[in-house]
């Protein structure tokens, strides 16, 4: 298992971006992606443990609450047509580059419409 990465700098970068679902830029939170995805060697850390900060997407507080309340996170993301693993890793790679972050979020939103 890959060790958990923590990065307050990256989480701050994520919070500066608009929600990748609705585009709201005023109440953005760094939403950790919990489900397992073997394409990225990502495991679910289990109840009470946060995933690595490499696996976060910007969500407004409304969509972040929905993400946690839905029950099946993978299906929740799928209803919007967004691959959160791809988006989170792209944002990790571009971390600190606001323009690149906006481009990644914009491309995710286009795919979801």
Tens digit of each residue's pLDDT (9 = 90 or more) over 93-102: 999 999 999 9
Model pLDDT for residues 40-70, shown as the tens digit of each residue: 666 666 666 678 899 999 999 999 999 989 9
- Which own/partner contact pairs does 103-110 have at CB distance under 8 Å and 24+ positions apart? 105/17, 105/18, 105/20, 105/58, 108/20, 108/82, 109/20, 109/21, 109/23
- Higher local confidence (pLDDT), 50 or 111: 50
Provide the residue ranges of all domains of the chain, joining segments of one domain with +: 8-112
Q: Report pTM.
A: 0.87
Give the Cα-Cα-Cα angle 63, 69, 75 (nearest 5 degrees): 80
Q: Is the pLDDT of residue 113 over 60?
A: no
């Amino acid at each position: 298992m890959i060790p958990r990465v923590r990065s307050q700098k990256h989480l701050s970068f994520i919070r500066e971006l608009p929600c990748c679902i609705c585009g709201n830029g005023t109440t953005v939170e760094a939403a950790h992606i919990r489900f397992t995805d073997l394409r990225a060697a990502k495991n679910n850390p289990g109840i009470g443990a946060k995933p690595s900060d490499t696996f976060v997407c910007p969500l407004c507080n409304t969509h972040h609450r929905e993400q946690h309340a839905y029950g099946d996170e993978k299906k929740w993301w799928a209803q919007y047509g967004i691959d959160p693993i791809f988006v989170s890793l792209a944002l990790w790679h571009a971390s600190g580059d606001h323009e690149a972050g906006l481009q990644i979020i914009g491309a995710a939103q286009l795919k979801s419409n």
